[in-house]
Copies of this chain bind each other. A is one copy, B any other.
Amino acid sequence: METKYNYVKNHIKSKILQGFFQPHQKVGSENNLIQEYNVSRHTVRKAIDELVNEGWIYKKQGAGTFCADRTAPKSSREQRNKNIAVITTYFSDYIFPTIIRGAESFLSENGYQVTVFSTNNDIEQERRCLEAVLSQQFDGVIIEPTKSALPNPNINYYLNFERMGIPYVMIHAYYEELEPVHIIMDDVEGGRIQTKHLLDLGHEHILGFFKNDDIQGIKRMKGFIKAHRECGVSLSPQNIVTYTTETKNALPTQMLEEKLKGGNELPTAIVCYNDQLAIQLLDVLRKMKLAVPKDISIVGYDDSSLSVASEVKLTTVKHPQEEMGIEAAQLIKQIIEKKENSLQEPIIKPVIFNPELIIRSSTGKTGIKEVN
């Protein structure tokens, strides 16, 4: 894959998949490409030959090289099974398997097959997934956006889905500019009730840990701030810790240790972006010999299996998980079937799940004031 002609080939293919070229539009002459990629004519021709062979482009002597028309020849589509691609950030971790299971079980019951991809929340890997899906013949895509809070360079691929008539629904988050059908939680509300619960219990120094490279984290942080404002409790900016996919393993635990050592104004409660983080932070609390919830309260998010795995049963926010997967599957099925029958793009409403707090034993009233 590291040969020059392969690089040229893949680069051109990417452009096609991103919709840079309309069918029958000129891809550029051999001379153009020679200059663009700074390679020999032979190399360009080798790349182009393969693309022609795979049906992406066609050539006409004396005229030029053109983008092929890949709009599927509808025929013989009926008999084959329907295929749905599911692209999520993670695959094996945490709540994602459950979401995927929801989609898989519903779709397989309805005669669809599910092919899975994961991006590891990495833009480059997302691009590869999107290219793979566009290169194949999928009838629909369920996708969780990667790094949804950051500008996404792969937007073009999504636009190309629309151009090629492949319906998709987004879960967990969505890119505003695309206005896709989406299935999300009300994450602001989720963050709000996490925090409100602690404020109601009398906590006033609450640490908030939020992941800020996806929209969910940003929104939950918004809810965290909103709750403080509603309850009239002032919030120091130093009480908010943000981290990213790349720093998630070390940064939050390290920050918590620092915050707990810094003598004055010790926090009495922690709001976590998710259960996974809460479990990580619980280990820090154990190490520092702090009892939960007597010395410090902690709230998770997602109600994953981790929330009840340890001796501390986490107070957390319910995430629909399997239900979200099923809902996404139902939506994509509806869209596909409507499209088949009526040819016009149906209007489908997004789904927004309302969060719900599950109170377990990791939160309690602040005891500090009574003790003093």
Q: Which residues of A contact B (CB under 8 A)?
A: 53-55, 79-81, 83, 91-93, 96-98, 100-101, 104-105, 108, 113-118, 128-129, 132, 135-136, 279, 286, 305-306, 309-312, 322
Name 10 extra pairs, CB < 8 A, besides A104-B116, A286-B311. Answer: A55-B79, A81-B135, A96-B97, A100-B116, A108-B128, A108-B129, A113-B115, A113-B136, A116-B116, A311-B312
Copies in the complex: 2
Q: Return A9 CB to nearest CB of chain B, in Å.
A: 14
A91-B101, A98-B92, A104-B116 are known contacts. Are A309 and B309 too (CB-CB below 8 A)? yes
Contact A92 B81 (CB under 8 A): no
Is the Cβ of B118 less than 8 Å from the Cβ of A115?
no
Q: Are B309 and A311 in contact (CB under 8 A)?
A: no
Residues of B within 8 A of A311 (CB): 286, 310-312
Q: In the bound complex, what is the Cα–Cα distance between A362 and B286 (angstroms)?
A: 16
Interface centre among A83, A129, A310 (most CB of B within 10 A): A310
> Which residue of chain B lies nearest to A102 when distances are taken between CB atoms in the complex?
B92
- When distances are taken between beta carbons in the complex, the residues of chain B under 8 Å from A118 are 101, 104-105
- State the CA gap A81–B117 with chains docked (Å): 14
List, sorted by A's number, 30 A–B pairs whose CB atoms are closer than 8 Å.
A53-B53, A55-B79, A80-B136, A81-B132, A81-B135, A81-B136, A91-B97, A91-B104, A92-B98, A92-B100, A92-B101, A93-B97, A96-B97, A100-B116, A104-B116, A104-B117, A104-B118, A105-B118, A108-B128, A108-B129, A113-B115, A113-B117, A114-B115, A116-B116, A279-B309, A286-B311, A305-B306, A309-B310, A310-B311, A311-B311
Min CB distance, A313 to chain B, in Å? Answer: 10
- CA–CA, A113 to B136, complex, Å? 10
Q: Measured between C-beta atoms, what is the minimum distance from A68 to chain B in Å?
A: 13
Contact A54 B79 (CB under 8 A): yes
Interchain CA distance A150-B178 in the complex, whole Å = 51
Minimal Cβ-Cβ distance residue in B for A1: B111
Once A97-B92, A286-B311 are accepted as A-B contacts, the answer to whether A116 and B114 lie under 8 Å apart by CB is: yes
Bound CA span A124–B286, Å: 46
Return chain B residues, CB-CB under 8 Å to A115.
Answer: 83, 113-116
CB-defined contacts of A286 to chain B, threshold 8 Å: 311
Measured between alpha carbons, how far is A229 from B316 in the docked complex, in Å?
A: 47
Smallest CB–CB gap between A92 and chain B, Å? 3
A322 to chain B, nearest CB (A): 8
Contacts of A97 in B (CB 8 A): 91-93, 96-97
Cα-based distance from A37 to B306 in the complex (angstroms): 51
With both chains docked as a complex, state the minimum distance between the C-beta of A79 and any C-beta of chain B, in angstroms.
6
List residues of chain B with CB within 8 A of the CB of A101: 91-92, 118
5 interchain residue pairs of minimum CB distance: A92-B97, A310-B310, A92-B101, A309-B309, A97-B97
Provide the residues of chain B in CB contact with A54, threshold 8 Å.
Answer: 79
Kindly state the separation between the CA atoms of A322 and B93 in the bound complex, as whole angstroms. 12
The residue that A91 contacts in the complex, of B55, B79, B100, B113, with Cβ under 8 A, is B100
CA distance A129 to B129 in the complex (A): 25
Q: Report chain B residues within 8 Å CB of A93.
A: 97
